[in-house]
Amino acid sequence: MDIMQPAPTTFRGIVEADLRRAARAIIKVQDELDFQFRIATPQGDYAIAVTMPNDPHERSAMLRRVGTFMAWRQALAFSLAVELVEPDAVYCVGISARARHHCQSRITRTPKPWTKANFGPVEWLPESAIDPALAELLPVQPRPLTPKEVAAADKWFGTKGKFPAIHIATGEVRGL
């Protein structure tokens, strides 16, 4: 996979660019990749890197927290880049109100250190294979949040949160 490409002009292009960015991150850290969210909002795009718990119940709870952040920021679309175990690949899904795309690039784990040569070509997958739980993270309409939900989201994604949300255009961590 050629990791460097021109700036994307379509949502599908953004999904592919985020897949390539995730591959570059794997090369840079030479380790597992945390869940990499890019969330488009009326205030601009936010990046959140989340270490997911192994426990399925805790993993679902963390995804709900990300969904609450999206509701609070009135997300219009998002992408999520992760590493898959089966197949061994870097994967990216993009969800908006109008489109859903996902793709992967298989990883060959030898030789190490990993380079762009360890990543296969981009493979586009059928929309029907997108996990419904991921698609449900994007709010379909604005919803009021309770003070408890806002405080919890701030605890996780605010300026002092465990996984602070970074406003991509400014590089600032913005609290709720």
Dihedral, CA of residue 22, residue 36, residue 31 and residue 127, to nearest 10? -60
Check if the beta carbon of residue 98 is closer than 8 Å to that of residue 82: no
- Percentage of the chain beyond pLDDT 90 is 77
pTM above 0.95, yes or no: no
Question: Does residue 86 carry a pLDDT above 70?
Answer: yes
Per-residue pLDDT band at 126 (split at 50, 70, 90): very high
Assess if residue 78 is contained within a domain. Answer: yes
Question: Does residue 3 carry a pLDDT above 80?
Answer: no
Assess if residue 127 is contained within a domain. Answer: yes
Assess if residue 176 is contained within a domain. Answer: no
In this prediction, residues 114-141 reach a mean pLDDT of 93
Number of domains, the chain: 1
Domain of 32? 11-167
